[in-house]
């Protein structure tokens, strides 16, 4: 890969981000700039981007590398177009996240931390992403897909493969984290 450069659009954004911090503390901009670069590079942070940003912020390379390895949201290897982050923590696990992993294994042929050959999907099992009421939850890029089961998850994967639009949120049509069925008292009435 050749030297990394922010796109014209992002360059404006970089300028704007840098105004958030005093000039002698511009090192603080490292997280937003890494994030911006990761978006520009298709979901991962190449070495070249890391080097360019640390140089821009006058931070030593190793300090930047420490930051990039500390935060799990920065990916230092090429990622698929869609990053499937399946929550595997207890509530999601009880509600069937293992089945969702099975879908990835059977239909995409990937295990945890692997990418499909067509470069479309990368699977990562993550810890709680804070949407337990709508478990099981999968985060695909920036969106949460909730209340999934094997069928609805597979449909989403198929739609993504075919480049059809998908609808984030609950797969069973519930609003936010409202009760799944109609309101009922303890006796079910």
Partner 1 sequence: MPKLVIDDKEIEVLEGMTVLQAAAEAGVEIPVFCYHPKLSIAGNCRMCLVEVKNTPKPVASCAMPVCEGMVVHTNSAMVEKARKGVLEFLLINHPLDCPICDQGGECDLQDITMAYGRSSSRFDLNKRAVPDKEFGPLIETAMNRCIQCTRCVRFSSEIVGIPELGAMGRGEDMEIGTYVQKTITSELSGNLIDICPVGALTSKPYSFKGRSWELSHTPSIDVFDAVGSAIRVDTRGREVMRILPRQNDEVNETWISDKTRFAYDGLKYQRLDQPYARGEDGLLHPVGWKEAFSLIADRLQHVPGNHIATLAGDMVDAEAMVALKDLMTSLGSPHIDCRQEGSSVGVGPRCSYLFNTTIAGIEQADFCLLIDTNPRWEAPLINARIRKNYLFNNLPVASIGPVYPLGYPVKDLGNDPQILEKILKGKHPICSALKAARKPMLILGQGGLKRPDGDVILRLTQEIADKYGFVQKAWNGFNVLQTAASRVAGLDLGFVPGPKGYGTQKILEAAKKKKIEVVYLLAADEIDVNSLESTFVIYQGHHGDRGATVADVILPGCAYTEKEGTYVNTEGRVQRTLKATPPPGEAKEDWKIIKALSDKLGLSLPYVTPKEIQARLVEVNPLFDEVDRIQPSSWKPFGREGNVNPAPFEFAIQNFYMTDSISRHSRTMAKCVQQILGQEKVHA
Residues forming contacts to partner 1 in the complex (CB under 8 A) are: 47, 60-63, 65-66, 69-70
Nearer Cβ to partner 1 (62/184): 62
User: With left for phi above 0 and alpha for psi between -120 and 50, is residue 59 left, alpha or beta?
Assistant: beta
Q: How far is the CB of 64 from partner 1 (least distance, A)?
A: 8
Q: Which is nearer to partner 1, 33 or 100 (CB)?
A: 33
Please count the other Cβ atoms lying within 10 Å of the Cβ belonging to residue 182: 6
Between 63 and 113, CB nearer to partner 1: 63
- Cβ distance to partner 1 smaller for residue 61 or 178: 61
* Cα 40–Cα 43–Cα 46 angle in degrees, nearest 5: 75
User: Which positions ≥6 away from 91 have C-beta within 8 Å?
Assistant: 128, 132, 135
CB of 128 to partner 1, least distance (A): 15
Q: Which two tokens stand for residue 31?
A: 């997280």
State in angstroms the smallest separation of the CB of 25 from partner 1.
Answer: 15
CA dihedral 67, 69, 72, 74 (to 10 degrees): 80
To partner 1, the closest distance from the beta carbon of 53 in angstroms equals 14
């Amino acid at each position: 890969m050749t030297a990394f450069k922010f796109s014209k659009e992002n360059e404006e954004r970089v300028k704007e981000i840098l105004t958030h911090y005093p000039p002698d503390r511009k090192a603080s901009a490292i997280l937003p700039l890494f994030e911006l670069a990761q978006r520009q590079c298709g979901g991962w942070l190449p070495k070249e981007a890391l080097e360019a940003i640390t140089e821009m912020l006058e931070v030593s390379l190793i300090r930047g590398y420490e930051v990039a390895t500390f935060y799990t949201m920065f990916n230092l290897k090429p990622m698929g177009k869609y990053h499937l982050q399946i929550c595997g923590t207890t509530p999601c696990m009880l509600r069937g996240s293992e089945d969702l992993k099975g879908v990835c294994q059977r239909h995409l042929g990937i295990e945890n931390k692997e990418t499909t050959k067509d470069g479309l999907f990368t699977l990562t099992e993550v810890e709680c992403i804070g949407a337990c009421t709508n478990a099981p939850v999968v985060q695909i890029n920036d969106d949460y897909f909730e209340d999934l089961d094997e069928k609805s998850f597979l449909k989403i994967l198929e739609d993504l493969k075919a480049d059809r639009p998908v609808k984030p949120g609950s797969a069973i049509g519930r609003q936010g984290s409202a009760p799944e069925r109609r309101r009922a008292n303890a006796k079910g009435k």
